[in-house]
Structure 1
Amino acid sequence: MLALVILYCTSKLVTATEQCDTYQFSHPFNPGESCEEIYDWNQQTHNRSGYYWLINPPRNVYCDMEQRVVCGNIGGWTRIASVNITRGDECPIGWNKSSHDGISFCRSPSDNAGCHPILFSSKEISYQKVCGMARGYQKGTPDAFRANHTDGLSITHGNPRQHIWSYVAGIHDGIESTNAGNCPCAANPGPQPTSFVGPDHYCESGINSGRWNVSEYYFSDPLWDGLNCPTGNTCCNNSSLPWFYKELDMATVDDVEVRICTNQDFLDEAVFIDQLILYIQ
């Protein structure tokens, strides 16, 4: 822990107990070993998100200093992933950017079934909390937890993998479909999550009425946004959607792995991602 926190102002250096009239985010102010340490040591950083300098080793990272209800009402988060295809971002290396009917998204680089991973660096920061969000779309018939497999987005760390959170896609949210590939929270419930995933997941389908079609892109109802769930479906009941907050069993410096997974090839099903944010603390 630092004995003294230094803030760079317009014309002078001040300690944490003094006031600073002008905040200059372009300078390496408040060096600390993590965004959390900077947040804890200087109240002037509260609600002032931006790029901060960390030490041991020196590096510049984006710190989210907001106190978000969905992230445990605490600030001082290090952002390790920020993807928003709706604002024109590129996809992380390892996923492909594609579009259909004017909607752009990230998808698996292969049409084959399986999981396609990318790694987001922890920036050598020790963390025990993870907060984030994802939004996506489905094509065809992803089938949630059918056959002991998870279709959707898997967020893990370590080797062997340790689960953080899963964003799961089911075939259908309503009662018109057989339940074999539906979410457990669907109006016609499907199988329960695997033991690896457990309760740490969100599950939703982009279809809430009518018959499914393997060639259809379901863009009218994005996945995991907590909206448009039909009567009898509880998939939208969590007020934090699409955000998750997870406290790990112990601290780690592992990079965070995110995988897009399906157990059938593109002809039958696909899961697309257009927004992804990850914070660690």
Structure 2
Amino acid sequence: MKVESYNDQYQERYGLLLNAYTDVCSLKMRGILELQDKLFAEKGEFERICQHVKALAHAGKTKDEMVAALRERLTTLNETLPLSYQLPLDPRVEVGKIVVRKCKIMSSAKLPLWLEFENAEEGGDPVVIIFKAGDDVRQDCLTLQLITLMDEMWREDGKDLAMEPYKCVSTGPMTGMLQVVLHAVTTAAVHKRGGALGGIFGAFNDVSFSDWIAANNGDPRSYKTAVNLFLRSCAGYCVATYVLGIGDRHNDNIMHSISTLPVSTRNLPA
């Protein structure tokens, strides 16, 4: 609702809905939303950090200098954060401080930020996101919602195609965040390790994927399960991306997750 309230065409409608919601929500929930707005919305803390990084890039600063400036700003921000809070991506997960040493600037044109947070649950995996400023993340959200809808329709028809769309949320007209799936590799990385035909020739190796799956699945049973997941996932994403007209799929933005118990592989749109 907050994102659409920036649009003149829908501002009145969504503004009324937003006001009605904030009037009836609890003080605790209002505090959570205010913190999220302060951190992640347009003109929030992370967007200001993004703009600072872009200004350094335009000034001709080196990547190391930009990363140092990013981490300095994040260290300052860390001092103001509560012990635990929720990210807009998933209200079920609470995070703690920013793991500043793990944060970096990605190489895309818009210079999105790779941000890692401590998991507020003791022993939990860190929570990693990509924060974008300067991109309309609503397009990503719509695509992932449609993929999720396809998956639900297929499951109702008895077809489990092992789809695993990542989470994505828009926090402003030109700001938003995407979930980073941990323990995942790109198709390019699989090709590079493709034995004698590795590196740039890995794409021509017919067994590069089966070798990679075997390397991550020690016993025959888990290997068979992983291959089955891989085949179903490939089929699902091939159909989904074809129907949606997604034409920028290449081996550096198709990812495969590595899970455990047993180790499995699934295709993830990147």
Normalising by structure 1, report the TM-score.
0.25
Q: Which has the higher contact order (CA 8 A, sep 6+)?
A: 1
- Which structure carries more strand by proportion? 1
- Which structure carries more helix by proportion? 2
Normalising by structure 2, report the TM-score.
0.26
